[in-house]
Structures are given as C-alpha cells and as structure tokens.
Amino acid sequence: MARKYYKVKTACPQCGCTELTTLTPEEIKEKYGDVANFDMECGECMEQYSADRKSACPEWDADCKLHE
C-alpha cells in the first residue's frame, strides 16, 4: 500500500502567517499526539497556539474518526 501523506495547514492567530506541513500518519501522531487539537508554535513570532484538527487537516481528522 502506498504511503499516505497529510497536509497540515495552520494560521498563527498572532501574526497571521500560515504554515503548511506535509506529514505521514506516524509523524502526525508523534508530533501532535492523538488529540483533537494540534499544539503549534509559530515560526515567525514564536506564538504558541492550538489549531483545531478538523480545520488544520480535515483529511486526517476524517481518517481518525474512521479508526475509532
């Protein structure tokens, strides 16, 4: 089976810059854990914020629900 990649897109509430990361399911789990919110840190202003999993990566959110 081909390895699947997920695009995680978030926007910093402080400075508004967007971050787009492409991750494998293993990387997502390792980086953010199995939770409904991703803990993010802005690369521009270092603001820490949490991003809603559903809006950051709808595809991953849907797949998570399939596995539950």
**What are the residues binding Zn ion (CB under 5 A)?**
12, 14-15, 42, 44-45, 47
Minimum CB separation from Zn ion for residue 51, in Å?
A: 12
Q: Which residues pair with 58 in a beta bridge?
A: none
Question: If DSSP codes are grouped into helix, strand and coil, which group holds residue 27?
Answer: helix
Would you put residue 43 in left (φ > 0), alpha (ψ -120 to 50) or beta? Answer: alpha
The two tokens of residue 49 are: 């914020």
Nearer to Zn ion by Cβ, of 16 and 33: the residue is 16
Nearer to Zn ion by Cβ, of 9 and 29: the residue is 9
Minimum CB separation from Zn ion for residue 46, in Å?
A: 7
Minimum CB separation from Zn ion for residue 64, in Å?
A: 26
